[in-house]
Structure 1
């Protein structure tokens, strides 16, 4: 007598459908061949078959205990027979009768824990990631100040170029001299959007709300309050004007080869542009009935021609260039979407939402692979560290590192109750910077943390995240608005809500 894995999958699928767990049944249906079995055998398999088989299996296991190896029936304990047989009792009987064979020699895996070591492994305290010099935290010093800007972006290919977006409708591109101890601005290019009436207020400030360099670093895209987009060369020359949005731009994203652009505004309008000609190719206007709430503040490419955008009620819409309707939607989040990041290495999408959860989505599946809880307030950043680990920050003052393969929290840092307004991971994925409400910036040593996590097989509790350096703001009542890393991962810029932008160095 035998049963195949596909037959077992079908029985589980039937059980899920019969018990009303339609979402779980759909997930299993996507990953197996249950529909083929349904066509062939569905009418011949009665309701409740899986539960019936399991109950018979429990009874058979208990019956085995009453028969000796030579076929003789053991004395019957009437009191035992009057008790209900349970699954736990059956598993204990099976373990006694057929003890687990420990892998040895060439059959043993490096990651296998020997049976005699298991108890010690469970009680082993979490290792420290801070190392011997845990009390030493480097104090980072200011290298240069720039005029006040709400956001800043380093060029992804040249360390000496940085773009700054201000409240005066202008984008500044600064070319720096960074060789000496004292940094200097060698050239400053001004890229001016025309002053215009703001779409949200009766003013003509028309602040720069978004900046994004192209992957090659040759072009800079800027968006302002009235919805206008402008494309500039790296030396400040106007290349194109993209004018179709009618409300403040809140997100911009180039695709991997720099041929197309995604832009999103405050009214939930997303537009796909041809970066070379400035022509709008697709227009998505996602409206939720009786609601003026922003559905999300992020968009993301998941390939050269596929992308995801926010949808109603926390849904993630999967779209493709050339098709005016979404290919499908990912259901799981329930509120405004705040973070997307696609990992091309493992083909997985990371998302965060104001429902205080972080989810991981696998390519080809409509159900999330992971759903991480823990944050008690809005999530302000979420990034892939590698193909397994994810790092997040939140206004609740915590930084968390999760493992998607282990489905668990691996590391945790609390910032003394100070809200974290933004977070940014370095291009080399070895450092993570957070900007706080009090104006300070803390930089975590992710490289050291990952080495510790790789050295242990399991954790009893999350370990602390080692701190590499700290920058203390000397002003009052001023919070960090944005952080941007330099291409070499050794410098970063800090934009403040009410003060000049600061550049600091880790060197």
Structure 2
């Protein structure tokens, strides 16, 4: 049973230390493994395998490198930037950092000379005064209308801010760090997950806790809404619970992972739930059965996060196939056909753990961000590398804006990059 005090931040720091220690040797082994993997993997497409020739690789690299003129580096954070998220309606990019602030960057064309930043200082009351919490801001989510931003912090509070940077309400408190928080689609509830083993549904209008769900036996790491009042949660206890507002017990519990479950995501229709774990597997679950629908085993290290493509029934791209992307500490990204439970592409350009993946709004491209400081943009159909950018710090998060022409990336050195993908 892991000590609850060993929070996610410690995990980040431990893994960071391991990576730095291993990075000297890993570059050579990764290169060797990568070349072996491309030829060994039957699912690779021909074009991808050709890039084994070093000269081809160099040509590809030159062709796809994003020029500095197309990359805007936003500086202001004083510590690592764990997360970033685009406003769903406008070109506002929110970021959250270890410096106990979130920031909102205005990247719309009309904003004068580059970008303006709003600083959202996370404070606590002490002796009648507001003092900085000195705690990391590790989760962010915009409501679907793009009017409000929710932040989760290691100080145990969730906060709601207006898009002009004013604190609207403070929701508290979890007994310890918040690891994840999400608005429901309707925008009336916020869901949070904490180190205190609980998940809480908050009334966004009153700031009151509607219901607390104390079902996990260890820290809750991620949550995702299935509908406006039903959600799934996962934990270091290896369990996944599906809970509903007003119900005193989970309406479903999924067991099968043999190590902590890092992330969970419902597909666009809310039928399939994907989960990924330190046990190196990705599993797909349905409310109709107790055992997993697919148990996807291909990664050779922990899987840190997963994302569904915004394609298929019930999306803006109904004629495209539904895919799932997984990002792993084995430094690969995999694209999966969810229906068949088969790996379509293995994307093998990164040299270090991959912390984040994100699909473009049309599902045609995937961005990936790694501790090798690179952001790669891939074609999801062919698996080909389309664009690359090397930043100045390890990449924690990548995200696309609503129009699909900009990618935001947040990094371990305090920088936030915005890549302009318009030709």
TM-score, structure 2 as length reference: 0.76
Q: CA deviation at 1:499?
A: 3.1
1:479, 1:126 → 2: CA distance?
Answer: 27
RMSD: 2.7
Q: CA deviation at 1:247?
A: 0.7
1:125, 1:157 → 2: CA distance?
Answer: 37
Q: CA deviation at 1:226?
A: 1.0
Q: CA deviation at 1:170?
A: 2.5
* Unaligned ranges ≥5, structure 1: 1-123, 198-202, 450-464
Q: CA deviation at 1:317?
A: 0.8
Flag the 1:404–1:287 CA change in 2: closer, same or farther, 3 A. Answer: closer
Q: CA deviation at 1:302?
A: 1.0
More strand by share: 2
Are 1:505 and 2:416 an aligned pair? Answer: no
DSSP-derived class of the 1:322 partner: coil
Contact 2:139 2:179 in 1 (8 A): yes
Contact 1:144 1:184 in 2 (8 A): no
Query: Which deviations, in whole Å up to 9, do the C-alpha atoms of 1:132-180 show, x marking residues without a partner?
Result: 9985442113224232333222101112x11222333322222234379
Flag the 1:416–1:125 CA change in 2: closer, same or farther, 3 A. Answer: closer
Query: Which deviations, in whole Å up to 9, do the C-alpha atoms of 1:75-111 show, x marking residues without a partner?
Result: xxxxxxxxxxxxxxxxxxxxxxxxxxxxxxxxxxxxx
Q: 1:38 corresponds to which residue?
A: none
Flag the 1:327–1:439 CA change in 2: closer, same or farther, 3 A. Answer: same
| Total equivalences in the alignment | 352
Q: How do 1:85-124 and structure 2 match up within 5 A?
A: none
Q: 2:86 corresponds to which residue?
A: 154
DSSP-derived class of the 1:427 partner: coil
2:143, 2:269 → 1: CA distance?
Answer: 21
2:343, 2:117 → 1: CA distance?
Answer: 45
Contact 1:381 1:424 in 2 (8 A): no
Q: 2:355 corresponds to which residue?
A: 421
DSSP-derived class of the 2:357 partner: strand
2:376, 2:348 → 1: CA distance?
Answer: 11
Contact 1:376 1:396 in 2 (8 A): yes
Flag the 1:498–1:280 CA change in 2: closer, same or farther, 3 A. Answer: same
* Unaligned ranges ≥5, structure 2: 1-41, 127-131, 313-321
1:170, 1:416 → 2: CA distance?
Answer: 30
Q: 1:333 corresponds to which residue?
A: 257
Q: 1:117 corresponds to which residue?
A: none
Match of 1:314 among 238, 245, 251: 238
Q: 1:35 corresponds to which residue?
A: none
1:440, 1:238 → 2: CA distance?
Answer: 34
Q: 2:372 corresponds to which residue?
A: 438
Match of 1:403 among 337, 348, 356: 337
Flag the 1:126–1:375 CA change in 2: closer, same or farther, 3 A. Answer: closer
DSSP-derived class of the 2:123 partner: coil
Q: CA deviation at 1:361?
A: 1.4
1:278, 1:346 → 2: CA distance?
Answer: 27
Q: How do 1:357-376 and structure 2 match up within 5 A?
A: 357-376=281-300
Match of 1:253 among 163, 173, 182: 182
Query: Which deviations, in whole Å up to 9, do the C-alpha atoms of 1:316-351 show, x marking residues without a partner?
Result: 111110112111211221221112111233621111
Contact 1:208 1:223 in 2 (8 A): yes
Contact 1:282 1:324 in 2 (8 A): no
2:160, 2:361 → 1: CA distance?
Answer: 24
Match of 1:485 among 374, 390, 400: 400
Contact 2:143 2:183 in 1 (8 A): yes
DSSP-derived class of the 1:178 partner: coil
Are 1:206 and 2:157 an aligned pair? Answer: no
Contact 2:234 2:263 in 1 (8 A): no
